[in-house]
Structure 1
Amino acid sequence: MTNRELDHARHLLCRLQDHIRESVIAAWQRQGRSFAKVVAVTAADTIYQVDRIGEQAILEWFERHWPKTWPVELVMEGLDEAEAVTFPAGTPVGQTRWKCILDPIDGTRGLMYDKRSAWSLAGLAPQRGGKTTLADIVVAAMTELPTSKQWRADQLSAVKGRGVVAQAVNVLTGERKPLRVTPSRAKDCRGGFAALSRFFPEGKALLGELEERLWQELYGRGGANSPLVFDDQYICSGGQLAELIAGHDRFMADLRPRVFGKLHVKSALVCHPYDLCTALVAREAGCVIEAPLGGAIRAPLDTTSAVDWAGYANPALARHIRPVLRRLIKRML
């Protein structure tokens, strides 16, 4: 595919997410708190009323706008994986050119209570059937879904090897302005934000112990002159990537699948491939996004596989934290 075609694909994903954002904002104004109603529980996640709004917006948009000369298989939370969804409708999967994985609304719980922005995520990869993985994604876009008091929503997108396109969108007027995003250039986490994801009671003690040991090995035990490392639990994988890209956070790791396995906890409330389908955007910004023990994240493009990951704002931070993190994972998990 030519650079021009890839950039057009990036543009299409951004327009799709504009449609999702506008649909969610309009529904919020109509429905308000009914967003929090549970409408389904699947193998992938709990589905809320707000999720259904995003899903419907996507299906309508693909039917109307996706190029018929680029047949695509759609993979997203909320669809029945037993029956493939393709566009043009009815195209056999074997005849599709692309595989597009989406999370219509990542961070549902924060958004449905009007607490914190969610993000709409999408990644596009050449179709390789069941062998297609996160590492194959060549185009990605992520768009902020704002709370009711926000007037601005950010949109970040990338084509592999071409850097990041970032815009700030005024959701009241539609005006767009270029947005400068620069990941932190710090070489350690002293005085900055960095954390392990620990959103639920299950596994929180083990994750807390691992994180405490991580900072102790890197910076020593507490005291009057202890270097502070601040913790911000953004319950949204796309939001976590956005915070790394924007320069707000320096390190983030999600080890829930390993921790739940260690504790024999059965839970679908982990990171899935659709939650991490915009890792390309973070990498194009200069961040390091990888498997916790190193190497590319090669999870299949499905809605049920559990994914763990580590993200560093820059290569220097990766070199600083990575050896200790890996040693503790091997020892404790």
Structure 2
Amino acid sequence: MMTPGQLHRLRRLLCSLQDSTRDALVAARRRPARHFAKVAAVTSADTIYAIDRVSEAAITAWFDRHWPAAEWPVQVVMEGIEDDDTPLTFPRGTPVNRTLLKVILDPIDGTRGIMYDKRSAWALAGAAPQRGARTHTGDIFVAAMSELPTSKHAVADQFSAVRGSGLVAERIDLATGQRKRWRPRPSQARDFDHGFASFARFFPEGKAWLSTLEENLWKQLGVFGRNGGQLVFDDQYISTGGQLCELIVGHDRMVADIRPIAFERLGLSGALACHPYDICTALLLREAGGVIEDPLGRPLRAPLDTTTPVSWIAWANPHLARLVRPVLRRLLAQGGM
């Protein structure tokens, strides 16, 4: 059991880790002939691009230098370096059953946007007590996510939290390193009129099925076509961390990523979906006052691995969740029709 002081120390460590990731990415961008969009590898979880390799090297170096491994032996779960046969632990080589913590990371969530300098990506991290294969997303008690900005950004945001202690938000001046606390607030809207609410459908696979489900949801809620239509706006931010940020800061009212359900209904195996490392910062939205759960209204309980597909739905506030939840459940029970 950690003391409150230890928990916040862990929170600050995760933030420091992500600071190093951001700094490594910014430095790499300054070098000539950086081909960030080149495919470096294809894994069972996702495609690894050249830009991902920059962050992976920064993370392992940071753990070697800065993690208090003697005090808190840790297993690190991360796409690209995590190997089922040889888990990554610190101190190096520590058996998993002798570690105290499991930290799951997504070094760059939103690779496709940032590698073209199109939109910010996010570094994600969640820490949980080590329970072996039984450790799941609901066990995460400290989380942090940090903006990985495009080249034209002057500031970058960072969010972190200890469960039950509220959200910590800081805005970082990229030129000076100065940090300023601020207080984001999710939308308190009671409906979806003239607001952003989206279903993730980033790729061709499953797009038609998801679009049909979404259209039927808005029809059931009486939004579709009312007053000439165009009442709900869509934002396909290819980053789970980015989607959570948009909810936390009050830009979006709902985001649903149920691609695994669509792929199962359509018989699409191997299609890219959200994984536990993508959603490891769900705690931050809850600490800000939002709601996040699985499509049946249950807490997220995905194992902390790199391959399990995860479906989730998030709302800016409990009222919107109560409005949509029963309608969406009914539609899913009917096959989305």
Fold shared, TM-score > 0.5 on shorter chain: yes
Map of 1:99-114 to 2, 5 A cutoff?
99-114=102-117
**Structure-2-length-normalised TM-score:** 0.97
2:327 is aligned to: 324
- Find the partner of 2:129 among 117, 126, 129: 126
Q: Distance in 1 between matches of 2:179 and 2:46?
A: 34
Query: Which residue does the alignment assign to 2:79?
Result: 77
- Asked whether the 8 Å contact 1:33–1:112 carries over to 2, the reply is no
Name the structure 1 match of 2:249. 246
The structural deviation recorded for 1:82 is: 2.2
Structure 2 equivalent of residue 307 of structure 1: 310
* Alpha-carbon distance, 1:267 to partner: 2.5
- The match for 1:136 is 139
- Aligned positions of 1:25-44 closer than 5 A: 25-31=26-32, 33-44=34-45
- Could you tell me how far apart the structure 1 residues matched to 2:324 and 2:226 are? 21
Picking from 181, 205, 210, the partner of 2:208 is: 205
Contact 1:44/1:268 (8 A) holds in 2:
no
Residue pair 2:194, 2:232 contacting (<8 A) in 1 also: yes
Give the structure 1 partner of residue 289 of structure 2.
286
Closer, same or farther: CA 158–31 of 1 in aligned 2, 3 Å: farther
Tell me how far 1:33 sits from its aligned partner: 5.0
Instruction: Report the AA paired with residue 234 of structure 1.
Output: Y
Aligned-pair distance for 1:7?
0.2
Matching residue of 2:64: 63
Other-structure match for 1:165: 168
Q: Is the 8 A contact 2:103 2:128 kept in 1?
A: yes
Contact 1:24 1:53 (8 Å CA) reproduced: yes
Contact 2:215 2:224 (C-alpha < 8 Å) held by counterparts: no
Q: Deviations over 1:158-185 (max 9, x none)?
A: 0000000000001111111112200000
- Mark the CA change 1:288 to 1:32 in structure 2 (over 3 Å): closer, same or farther: farther
Unpaired segments ≥5 residues, structure 2: none
**Structure 1 residue 223 displacement after superposition:** 4.8
1:299 match: secondary structure: coil
Is 1:217 matched with 2:220? yes
Query: Which residue is 2:24 aligned to?
Result: 23
In the alignment, the residues of structure 2 paired with residue 45 and residue 221 of structure 1 have an alpha-carbon distance, to the nearest angstrom, of 35
Q: Is residue 217–residue 327 contact of structure 2 (8 Å, CA) maintained in 1?
A: yes
Q: How far has the Cα of 1:8 moved from its partner?
A: 0.1
State the secondary structure of the residue aligned to 1:35.
coil
Secondary structure at the aligned position of 2:59 is classed as: helix
Task: Give the whole-Å Cα distance in 1 for the aligned partners of 2:207 and 2:33.
Answer: 31
Percent identity over paired residues = 60
What CA distance in whole angstroms lies between the structure 1 residues aligned with 2:96 and 2:113?
Answer: 35
Secondary structure of 1:212's aligned partner: helix
How many pairs does the alignment contain? 333
For 2:28, the aligned partner's letter is: A
Alignment partner, residue 147 of structure 1: 150
Counting helix residues as a fraction of each chain, which structure ranks higher? 1
CA deviation after TM superposition for structure 1 residue 330, in Å: 1.4
Gap runs ≥5 in structure 1: none
> What is the letter of the counterpart of residue 131 of structure 1?
R
The 2-side partners of 1:167 and 1:268 are apart by: 35
